[in-house]
Amino acid sequence: MKAQAAVSIVLGSALALVACGPTSRDDGNGPGPGHGPDAGPSGGSDGGPTGEARRCNKMDIVFVVDDSGSMSEEQGNLATNFPMFASVLQNYVNADGEHIDFRVAVTTTGKTISYSVSGAPFPFTETGDNGAFRNNCNVNKRWLEPTDPNLGQTLGCRANVGTSGPGYEMPLLVTKLALDDRMSDGTNTGFLRPDALLGIVMLTDEDDSSTLLSSFTISIANPNPPVDYHPADLIAFLDGLKGHRSRWAAGVIAGETACTSAFGDATAATRLKDFVTQAGTQAVFSSICAGDLTTALSEVIAKFQAACGDIIL
């Protein structure tokens, strides 16, 4: 009962933030290349679209959840909190009195790779989702919406992505795969809307190891893959995809430092912290070692709500 009360208090605070309404801000908080498929009129001083901050009434939210062997406790906690997360979204009313039309999709941090270990007689293969949104839990759609029955329970079910995924977590690259490659091949097509805030949530107990290579060699002395997809690469992609920095926001829940909690051990997510730093006011970092994901999810919701209030459309 105490845990449930804490959940209600923290998420209630998130709702209170909504009631305060958005604040205005300068629209030059990012490079805003303005060349995405839904880019607005160009000509702004930052190279992006001109226009005024508006209150969006749509959110497209993607969860990228670690499905490696160490993540069972975190996934269980996420599943427990997802009904509350869905409830906050369903009850969110912007400053114009409009309910948010949201979509929520879930994928994992894994990419299919084959790698060899120096001196080993055969290569290893790991199979990942490669950014494909889940369509399980008795729902064939690859994303969920406010009108879907049992929304919170279905989201909770999808959050339990399992622990049999690749041991190399690649949330940065997988986010790009989900919103680019899996759109192009028809897997996730139809999810993105040009007038919606894109929200991304990455949850992992490891640092990012994104590599564009599908096959590589490692050694016992250096077991890391050849990382070649960087935080700046994803930021540039998202800016281009949405046409302006204000049209997307992100929350990272990972190890702020090497830490231990009820979830187990987490490594310092240096590259993911760099992503949040480089994204500026559009991103928030929360510690996975807090012992409960309620606060972290509340911080993510608050970030998305603030971004939704200041979006440039």
Given a cut of 70, whether residue 189 has pLDDT beyond it is: yes
Task: Judge whether 94 lies within some domain.
Answer: yes
Given a cut of 80, whether residue 24 has pLDDT beyond it is: no
Report the pLDDT value the prediction gives residue 75, as an integer from 0 to 100: 78
Task: Judge whether 199 lies within some domain.
Answer: yes
What are the percentages of helix, strand and coil residues in the chain, rounded to 5? 35, 20, 45
Task: Judge whether 144 lies within some domain.
Answer: yes
Given a cut of 60, whether residue 50 has pLDDT beyond it is: no
Q: Is the pTM of this model over 0.85?
A: no
Task: Judge whether 269 lies within some domain.
Answer: yes
Report the pLDDT value the prediction gives residue 184, as an integer from 0 to 100: 98
Q: What's 137's domain CATH number?
A: 3.40.50.410
Task: Judge whether 126 lies within some domain.
Answer: yes
- Residue 147 and residue 202: Cα distance in Å, rounded? 25
Task: Judge whether 277 lies within some domain.
Answer: yes
Give the domain extent around 203. 59-312
Task: Judge whether 40 lies within some domain.
Answer: no
Of the ranges 11-15, 60-64, 301-305, the best mean pLDDT one: 60-64
Percent of the chain with pLDDT over 70: 83
pLDDT in tens, 107-146: 999 999 999 998 888 889 999 999 999 999 999 999 999 9
Q: What is the DSSP string of 46-107?
A: TSS----EE---EEEEEEEE--STT-HHHHHHHHHHHHHHHHHHHH-B-TTSPBPEEEEEEE
Say how many domains are in the chain.
1
Task: Judge whether 158 lies within some domain.
Answer: yes
